[in-house]
Amino acid sequence: MSDRVLITGGAGFIGSFVAEHFLETGCDVRILDSLDPQVHGTDGTASTPAGAELRIADVRDKEALRAALDGVSIVVHCAAAVGVAQSLYRVQHYVDVNVGGTAALLEVLAERRTALRKLVLPTSMTGYGEGLYRRPSDGALRRVEIRTEDDVRAGAWEPVDPDTGEILEAVPTPESAELRAKNVYALTKRYQEELALSLGALYGFPVVCLRLFNVFGPRQSLRNPYTGVLAIFLSRLLEGRSPVVYEDGGQTRDFVSVHDVVRAIARAVESETANGCVLNIGSGRPRGIADVARDAAGLLGCDVEPTITGEFRRGDVRHCFADLTQSRAVLGFEPEADWGGMPPRIVEWSRTAPVSDRFADADRELRERGLVR
């Protein structure tokens, strides 16, 4: 008998690819999604693969969850409000959806008397804050706090060692690194992890949390100004505008393909060793944000340089990329998608996708609240 899989948020970017994977393996797939207009537009467009059952409901609705979990043996909980910047002024919404939605799901799972084979919870690397660094003079590993406006005014885009004043070198960040971020989105993803692992252990259902780094790929909304940075750059370029990059453009992120993320989720479902684990899922390689903007312009054939503002967005980290040692050991995970091969596929998809460049609206909201300096 094949598994029945419930994917919350399964009509979205990552969830729709997860749904396709499980359909291809012969599972029955049920999707629960609210079709949030910020992601899907006001027309309720959903990337629901053929063969999946779609139930339109809010993940906080326990009655809808009870019905959706009927006969389900695997849950992949992708439903979430996404975006660090927006979380700083839509605090209640992010806590309600991310923490409240996860709590509702866990309550319903705890009520069930039939065994759940696996709950996989994609969370976020944003919880780390700044990543792990090395001090050049002696190789000592260091953690630093999020940069302040005083740091930036002193010309220190790069984190410096608080004891010696040396500019620090970024190194891969392992799962054992303390979660230091204080932004609302990062806190909600951290609480998701802690709730799921705690209640899974208490009620006896296996849980795996995957800390995703910057996921990119086709279907990432080009209408949501709080989504992944590559999608934001593409939406600007497709409407003839220059991508906007804060700071000096030298900040880096770890970009991981949605296809690699799906492979990690599939392995987490099947791995008994992964139960109770929190694992990084990234590429393990840093990539400069200004370079990403130039790559996007080049792929679209646009002779457009990014607008580099020299301004600081409060709370932003400079560098953080994944140490994959644990995910390799536990899941046998190795990122397969090459950056050079993936963006052209995204660009091809983006030319036919609904586009709405709302970056200026998001930027204005941040400035009105004093979050860009």
Tell which residue, 65, 239, 251, 30, has the closest CA to residue 157.
251
CB 288 within 8 A of CB 222: no
CB 68 within 8 A of CB 32: yes
Sign of CA dihedral 152, 321, 196, 259: positive
N-terminal to C-terminal alpha carbon distance within the chain: 58
Give ∠ CA 70-76-48 in degrees, rounded to 5: 85
Six-digit token string for 174: 């392992």
* Residue 89 is a catalytic residue: no
Beta bridge partners of residue 32, listed in sequence order = 8, 55
Other beta carbons within 10 angstroms of residue 241's beta carbon come to 16
CB 261 within 8 A of CB 215: yes
Residues in the chain: 373
Six-digit token string for 72: 């389900």
Catalytic residue among 128, 133, 185, 246: 185
Distance CA 5, CA 15 (A): 12
Segment 44-52 long-range contacts (CB within 8 Å, at least 24 positions apart): 45/354, 46/11, 46/16, 47/11, 47/12, 47/13, 47/16, 47/219, 48/10, 48/11, 48/16, 48/19, 49/16, 49/19, 49/20, 49/23, 51/23, 52/10, 52/19, 52/23
Active site residues: 185
